[in-house]
Amino acid sequence: MGCICSIIPNDVLRRLAQDESLTDEARQALTRTALVDQELRKIREQARQFTAVAQSVAPTPEALAPAPAVTVYNCNHTQTLPGAPVPNPANAADPSAQRAFTEATAVAQFYQLLFGRDSIDNYGMTIISSIHFGVKYNNAQWNGTQMLYGDGDGQIFVDFTGGNDVIGHELTHGVTQHTLQLAYADEAGGLNESLSDVFGSMFRQWQADQDVNAADWLIGSNIIGPAAKANGLTCLRDMANPAAPHCLAPQPTHYSQYQPGMDPHYSSGIPNLAFYTFAMAIADPQFPNRQPAYARSWQTAGRIWYNTMFLGGALPNMTMHQFASRTHAAAVLLYPSAPEIDNALSAAWTKVGV
């Protein structure tokens, strides 16, 4: 497991840490983040393995609660998790605490209202968030059991609780952990990252009540700091144009560009573009038998992607071709009388070479 499952790729942190145009303070913060992330990755992978074993040996559990409790803790710039509890985070004076609570609660509602899912594990799991993790920590991640957020260095990145798509992205890693149980390497790792980008973007669109044409399809635009913006960088990734130069981490757009061992933050561009292409195709006014729901990413395309996470059970080493095949099965299951939807899906996967 050579890759670290957090919103900022480790190689980006290391590359920026070598950028002499940045201040020494910013470069040191980037270096510290990369070192800490290497160890946090081990916790994440252990949690994934534990989830797989627990689900294989335990009977189906009863739900903890009909809706998850959402709690927030303050690390106060230490790296001690979870930190000190924040009382009444919904009304906290600290805006980071408020955002962490509000957005985590909204993600839980998003999964409940749209997909009938009860929290991360579907059994009412408490959602724990820790803010102000570390000193100028340049990342956010789901560590296998909870969320943690850094404040950023103020130059390249700013407070990671400011990105609702970032929060949706990272909490979706938890959903994937409890469904497909995808490993974080090779093609499965790319799918793992892509699912988080897809649902993170979908969550952002749902909150803004945007159709696919109004959405910007950017990931992480709200956590980009002033120094990065000054260099023309506007986001981490762009699902509509993964290779765009305005992305901090441009991605491949075709399966022919995939290489074994590629960092999942990059290979995810391939399925990301497939989802975007499919969502845009069925939203086109000229699409056969088009329904209004097709224009909302979470109502049609999103339902297919969500159901794909369940069809056939967990498959930790899933390939992109296997995932594409399951999306077809989900489309036929959900829309048996609308073959045009599956045809659009085929065209989207063909476009990216899968």
Catalytic center residues: 170, 265
Q: Which tokens belong to 147?
A: 């969320």
Write the DSSP assignment of 110-170 as a string of letters: HHHHHH---SSSSS---EEEEES-TTT---EEE-SS-EEE----SSSB--GGG-HHHHHHH
Sign of CA dihedral 126, 42, 324, 217: positive
Q: Which of 233, 35, 21, 33 is closest to 152 using CA atoms?
A: 33
Helices in the chain by DSSP H: which ranges? 10-17, 24-57, 95-115, 164-177, 186-208, 226-230, 264-267, 269-283, 301-308, 320-334, 339-351
Contacts of 255 (CB under 8 A, 6+ apart): 270, 320, 352, 353, 354
Residue whose C-alpha is closest to residue 47's, from 188, 187, 183: 183
Strand-pair partners of 247: 235
- Backbone phi, psi, residue 237, to 5°: -145, 160
* Residue closest to 128 by CA, chosen among 94, 158, 162, 89: 89
C-alpha–C-alpha distance, residues 195 and 106, integer Å: 18
Distance of CA 166 to the CA centre of its chain: 7
